[in-house]
């Protein structure tokens, strides 16, 4: 029997756990009951009492006013949402609020978009009857921060900001201090936004019903004429953004509450770091370098120049002397077009993308064990998991929205295991922090597997029915030399055992990994060990489990899906298989190259050996971000033709022969695929600035120039073609993606997939493959001479090479790269905080400011690579993952001295 309650004597069915407010909203409309302190993404609170309704146990029984937002609806109760008694009560409450509120609505930034204003109008306030008394109208504004602003004279003490800070971001910067009339919002210990620990996520500004907390873009003002929903261009979380536009200019960005991915939240990059798009530095015209200087040319001249040079090189040397590097920042459709251009128009498999320096080991490692190189589960699974294991990732900085969700889950008491050389923010919430020496992930994971078997915690039924190769695998694990692994990794074996037991005995355990796993000489093998851990404990194929790479760039998943890899075409079809080649030839009605192409690091070697003459790079700054800068520069200098398609004059663009100005994500449409395989619509917000063009259109134009007829760039058109060749895109249609996109594989009928490998692995049975720990050549060859290890990391405020974020106010928050150094190491080398240090490796040296921090263990240092002033990658090595050729950014042997 369903349970019933009444609204104005009308019976309605109630749902379990429902509040009176949600019950009324569901049955009598969203707007019937006014609210102030209630917010869609926050827990019920009950501060303002504006949502009060009368409740009775009998239809004509005595009534009692109850705050509907946090009172559970009771079976058989009679609810009267708008009796004269209640409307009078609400009016009185709001009137009292207004006695301590500046009534300067006309000049207020949120005029016409203020919840207090709306509620006051709704309850019919015409006058405030109380005389002016004590108030807070003289509170000073806080304009100290590059983004966040506050004006607490407008605060109504609803605590929505405090709850957003706690429940959404988990930052605990804001709170309510004092009591009674003196209650007021504080930032840290009564400081300013700028001096507090605020991470500028903007959740409080979006939550505030008035303009008491806002931002410099006045994102709650009604100035914009329209809002366009699109997807963030920064990390692989794939936050949906509501972009407010006026007169073809972006005014501000907010996070939509109905977005499955980010549920009304995003970080300071997504919300505030957009102003790069019309920065004066934007490249606005195509340019050709003539006599050593760039000259602006027409698009036609640039196209003619490129087409003739490509044709010439192809004729003289052959198509394999040309290569393309596509961008994980571009849309699926653009990546698809780029690989098609290289393969079908030029006739070479020399096509790669920045996935190479990022998660290529994940793709290969997971393909070998599971059959699919993508996250097995979805971020929503965090709600269902009992244990999170985060390996080599710092999500609160690099994937902030996922990081914030992990903090919330950990604070609810779920187990958190961190395997990382740094004390990342998440370690504060973790039960286990395995602070290993960089380069020894494989050692620690092997130890975990050993203890799981030793303690008899394997999931025997799962191993039996779903996997193969276990017996051989087990033999090798049991033969491990644990004391030796303990010694190299520097992690106490008992701690490893306890963490392994926690992971293996959790009902549902979920692993996450980042570039701290992949960017190693054993990257692919480490990914396979993570997959082994999931299989041995049966953590695959249901809610709250799995192996989940935190994809770095917004569309790094998509770039690989679309075939921007030299050994796999669109849809990961293996180019070594002659049947695949015939399939592509039939599909493209054109000959298809049969030789496997160069991966990015191989392109450098090819150029230096005169085997490569032309490279076309889209949206990647190889010089600043690829390892071993001197080597990269030498290789690029040697090319006959370097085409760089970019937003800004990056370090790589400076070396180009031709520069093509591309359009940013705000200026074009298409789809991005996030880290949980979700294909989401990117919608054009403003017209391309200057004379720039969507990257896809540039590729199409060049295809046509080179005699291959291709229709204009239009995501709907290209997606249709993609769905014909990429198996897991079969049912993807531009018009049907909706506001929240679809997770691949998308079947022909349009249904999508949240969890992979439910009953069977893509490859049939999951395969156990053992990979022993092997010391990287960097340490073996240089460890004696260069005794310290430096590992590269990222900070929240900046994105990779920083070409975009450095051109926003983010650079006021974080101004430079610094070297994090342990106090003991600093003392030994007489280095003081803020002093300059020379860091030297076998490749070269950099000079960088030291920051003394216990975030790193003694012997290990870290730094970011966001600023071209430092050029961190001068010292990183050309060693790369044995399988995927992903560079080993994470282990650099070095020595230091005070400058």
Binding site for other proteins (CB under 8 A): 172-179, 186, 188-190, 413
- Work out how close the CB of 409 gets to other proteins at its nearest, in angstroms, rounded to a whole number: 16
Q: Minimum distance from CB of 161 to other proteins (Å)?
A: 12
Q: Which is nearer to other proteins, 175 or 838 (CB)?
A: 175
Q: Residue 159 Cβ, how far from other proteins at the closest point, in Å?
A: 11
Distance of alpha carbon 787 from alpha carbon 239, whole angstroms: 41
CB of 184 to other proteins, least distance (A): 9
CA angle, 704 then 710 then 715, to 5°: 130
Give me the least distance between CB of 19 and other proteins, in Å please. 26
Beta strands 641-646 and 614-618: pairing type? Answer: parallel
Q: Which is nearer to other proteins, 255 or 502 (CB)?
A: 502
User: What does each C-alpha distance from 405 to 380, 732, 806 come to in angstroms?
Assistant: 9, 29, 27
Q: Which C-beta is closer to other proteins: that of 427 or that of 864?
A: 427
Q: Shortest approach of other proteins to residue 197 CB, angstroms?
A: 8
Please give the biggest Cα pair distance in the chain: 95
Question: Considering only CA atoms, which of 495, 514, 554, 496 is closest in space to residue 406?
Answer: 514
| Beta-sheet pairing, 240-246 with 249-254 | antiparallel
Q: Which is nearer to other proteins, 328 or 409 (CB)?
A: 409
How many distinct helices (H) and strands (E) make up the chain? 28, 36
User: How many Å apart are CA 53 and CA 32, to the nearest integer?
Assistant: 11
Return d(Cα 517, Cα 535) in angstroms, integer: 18
Label residue 820 exposed, middle or buried (CB < 10 Å: 0-12, 13-18, 19+): buried
Any idea which residue has 């006695």 for tokens?
Answer: 99
The 10 Å Cβ neighbour count of residue 13 is 11
Q: Which is nearer to other proteins, 187 or 314 (CB)?
A: 187
Strands 415-419 vs 249-254: parallel, antiparallel or unpaired: unpaired
Q: Say how far apart CA 440 and CA 461 lie, in whole Å.
A: 31
What's the DSSP call for residue 168?
I
Q: Give me the least distance between CB of 431 and other proteins, in Å please.
A: 12
Q: Which is nearer to other proteins, 98 or 186 (CB)?
A: 186
Closest distance of CB 174 from other proteins, Å: 7
Please name the helix (run of DSSP H) or strand (run of DSSP E) that holds residue 174, with its range, or none: strand 174-177
Q: CA 358 to CA 889: how far, in whole Å?
A: 10
Q: How far is the CB of 455 from other proteins (least distance, A)?
A: 25
- Rounded to 5 degrees, what are φ and ψ at 843? -95, -30
Q: What is the DSSP string of 265-334?
A: ---HHHHHTTGGGG-TTS--S-EEEETTEEEE--HHHHHHHHHHHHHHHHHHH-GGGEEEEE-TTS-HHH
Closest to other proteins by CB, 183 vs 751, is 183
Report, in Å, the least distance between residue 424 CB and other proteins. Answer: 17
Which is closer to other proteins, CB of 178 or CB of 318? 178
Q: Are 168 and 265 contacting, i.e. CB atoms less than 8 angstroms apart?
A: yes
Cα–Cα distance for residue pair 53/287, rounded to 1 Å: 67
Alpha-carbon distance values, 501 to 435, 444, 484, 508, 634 (Å)? 17, 14, 21, 13, 50
- CB closer to other proteins, 177 vs 739: 177
* Both structure tokens of 743: 């997770």
Name the residue with tokens 């349009």.
750
Residue 227 has phi, psi (to 5 degrees) of: -125, 135
Q: Which C-beta is closer to other proteins: that of 190 or that of 225?
A: 190
Candidates 229, 231, 259; CA nearest to 244 is: 229
Give me the least distance between CB of 835 and other proteins, in Å please. Answer: 25
Q: 333 CB contacts (<8 Å, ≥6 apart)?
A: 670, 671, 696, 713, 715, 718, 719, 722
Q: For residues 70 and 74, what is the distance between their CA atoms, to the nearest angstrom?
A: 12
Min dist CB 413 to other proteins, Å, is 8
- Using DSSP bridges, classify how beta strands 614-618 and 322-326 pair: parallel, antiparallel or unpaired: parallel
Other CB atoms within a 10 A radius of the CB of residue 688 amount to 20
Using the minimum distance from each CB to other proteins, give the nearer residue, 161 or 659.
161
Minimal distance, residue 171 CB to other proteins, in Å = 9
The least distance separating other proteins from the CB of residue 403, rounded to whole angstroms, comes to 16
Which residue, 423 or 583, has its beta carbon nearer to other proteins? 423
As measured in angstroms, the least distance from the Cβ of 169 to other proteins is: 12
Give 162 or 559: the residue with its C-beta nearer to other proteins.
Answer: 162
Nearer to other proteins, 188 or 859 (CB): 188
Please identify, using beta-carbon distances, which residue of 178 and 711 lies nearer to other proteins.
178
Minimum Å gap between C-beta 205 and other proteins is 18
Dist. CA 162–CA 186, nearest whole Å: 9
Q: How far is CA 611 from CA 322, 494, 575, in A?
A: 9, 52, 21
CB of 479 to other proteins, least distance (A): 40
Tell me the closest approach of the beta carbon of residue 3 to other proteins, in angstroms.
33
Q: Which is nearer to other proteins, 166 or 381 (CB)?
A: 166
Closer residue to other proteins, CB minimum distance, 190 or 298:
190
CA atoms of 841 and 616, how far apart (whole Å):
31
Q: How many CB atoms lie under 10 A from the CB of residue 234? A: 25
Q: Which is nearer to other proteins, 158 or 779 (CB)?
A: 158
């Amino acid at each position: 029997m369903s349970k019933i309650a009444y609204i104005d004597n009308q019976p309605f069915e109630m749902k379990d756990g429902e509040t009176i407010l949600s019950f009324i909203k569901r049955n009598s409309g969203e707007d019937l009951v006014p609210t102030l302190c209630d917010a869609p993404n926050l827990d019920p609170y009950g501060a303002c009492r504006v949502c009060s309704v009368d409740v009775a146990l009998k239809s004509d029984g005595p009534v009692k006013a109850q705050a509907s937002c946090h009172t559970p609806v009771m079976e058989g109760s009679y609810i009267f949402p708008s009796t004269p008694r209640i409307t009078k009560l609400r009016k009185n409450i709001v009137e009292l609020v207004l006695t301590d509120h500046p009534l300067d609505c006309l000049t207020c930034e949120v005029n016409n978009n203020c919840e207090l204003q709306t509620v006051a109008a709704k309850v019919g306030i015409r006058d405030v009857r109380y005389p002016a008394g004590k108030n807070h109208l003289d509170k000073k504004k806080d304009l100290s921060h590059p983004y966040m602003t506050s004006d607490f004279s407008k605060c109504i003490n609803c605590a929505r900001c405090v709850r957003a800070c706690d429940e959404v971001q988990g930052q605990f910067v804001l709170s309510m201090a004092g009591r009674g009339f003196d209650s007021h919002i504080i930032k840290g210990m009564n400081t300013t936004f700028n001096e507090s620990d605020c991470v500028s996520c903007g959740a409080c500004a979006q939550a505030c019903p008035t303009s008491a907390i806002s931002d410099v873009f006045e994102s709650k003002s009604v100035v914009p004429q329209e809002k366009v929903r699109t997807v963030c261009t920064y990390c692989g979380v794939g936050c949906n953004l509501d972009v407010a536009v006026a007169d073809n200019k972006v005014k501000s960005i907010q996070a939509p509450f109905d977005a499955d991915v980010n549920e009304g939240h995003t970080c300071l990059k997504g919300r505030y770091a957009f102003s790069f798009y019309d920065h004066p530095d934007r490249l606005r015209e195509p340019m050709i370098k003539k006599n050593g200087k760039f000259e602006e040319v027409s698009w036609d001249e640039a196209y003619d120049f490129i087409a003739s040079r490509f044709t010439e090189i192809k004729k003289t040397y052959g198509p394999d002397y040309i290569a393309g590097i596509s961008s994980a920042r571009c849309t699926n459709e653009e990546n698809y077009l780029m690989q098609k251009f290289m393969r079908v128009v030029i006739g070479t498999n020399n096509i790669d993308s920045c996935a190479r320096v990022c998660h290529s080991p994940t793709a290969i490692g997971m393909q070998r064990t599971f059959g699919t190189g993508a996250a097995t589960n979805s971020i929503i699974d965090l709600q269902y998991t009992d244990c999170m294991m985060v390996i080599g990732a710092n999500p609160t900085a690099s994937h902030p929205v996922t990081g914030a969700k992990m903090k919330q889950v950990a604070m609810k008491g779920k187990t958190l295991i961190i395997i990382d050389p740094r004390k990342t923010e998440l370690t504060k919430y973790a039960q286990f922090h395995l602070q290993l020496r960089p380069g020894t992930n494989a050692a620690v994971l092997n130890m975990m597997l050993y203890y799981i078997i030793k303690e008899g915690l394997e999931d025997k039924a799962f191993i039996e029915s779903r996997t193969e190769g276990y017996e051989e695998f087990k033999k090798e694990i049991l033969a491990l030399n644990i004391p030796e692994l303990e010694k190299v990794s520097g992690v106490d074996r008992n701690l490893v055992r306890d963490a392994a037991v926690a992971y293996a005995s959790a009902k549902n355990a979920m692993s996450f990994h980042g570039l701290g796993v992949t960017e190693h000489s054993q990257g692919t093998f480490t990914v396979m060990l993570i997959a082994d851990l999931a299989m041995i404990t049966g953590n695959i194929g249901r809610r709250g489990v799995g192996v989940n790479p935190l994809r770095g760039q917004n569309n790094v998943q998509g770039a690989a899906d679309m075939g921007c890899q030299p050994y796999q075409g669109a849809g990961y079809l293996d180019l070594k298989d002659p049947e695949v080649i015939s399939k592509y030839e039939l599909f493209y009605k054109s000959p298809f190259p049969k030789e496997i192409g160069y991966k990015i690091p191989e392109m450098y070697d090819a150029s230096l050996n005169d085997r490569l003459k032309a490279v076309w790079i889209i949206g990647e700054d190889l010089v600043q971000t690829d390892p071993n800068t001197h080597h990269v520069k030498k290789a690029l200098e040697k090319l006959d033709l370097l085409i760089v398609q970019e937003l800004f004059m990056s370090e790589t663009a400076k070396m180009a022969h031709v520069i093509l100005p591309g359009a940013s994500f705000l200026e074009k449409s298409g789809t991005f695929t996030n880290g949980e395989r979700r294909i989401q619509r990117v919608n054009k917000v403003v017209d391309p600035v200057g004379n720039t063009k969507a990257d896809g259109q540039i590729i199409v134009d060049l295809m046509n120039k080179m005699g291959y007829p291709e229709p204009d760039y239009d995501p709907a058109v290209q997606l249709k073609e993609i769905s014909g060749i990429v198996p897991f895109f079969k049912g993807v249609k531009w018009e049907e993606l909706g506001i929240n996109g679809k997770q691949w594989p998308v079947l022909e009928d349009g249904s999508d997939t949240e969890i992979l490998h439910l009953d069977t692995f893509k490859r049939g049975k999951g395969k156990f493959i053992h990979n022993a720990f092997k010391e990287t050549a960097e340490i073996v060859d240089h460890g004696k001479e260069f005794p310290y290890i430096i590992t590269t990391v990222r900070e929240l405020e900046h994105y990779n090479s920083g070409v975009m974020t450095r051109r926003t106010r983010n650079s006021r928050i974080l101004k430079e790269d610094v070297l994090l150094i342990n106090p003991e190491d600093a003392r030994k080398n007489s280095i003081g905080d803020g002093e300059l240090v020379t860091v030297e490796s076998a490749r070269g040296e950099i000079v960088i400011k030291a920051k003394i921090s216990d975030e790193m263990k003694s012997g290990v240092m870290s730094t970011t690579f966001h600023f071209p002033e430092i050029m961190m990658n001068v010292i990183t090595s050309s060693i790369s993952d044995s399988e995927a050729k992903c560079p080993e950014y994470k282990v650099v042997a070095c020595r230091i001295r005070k400058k």
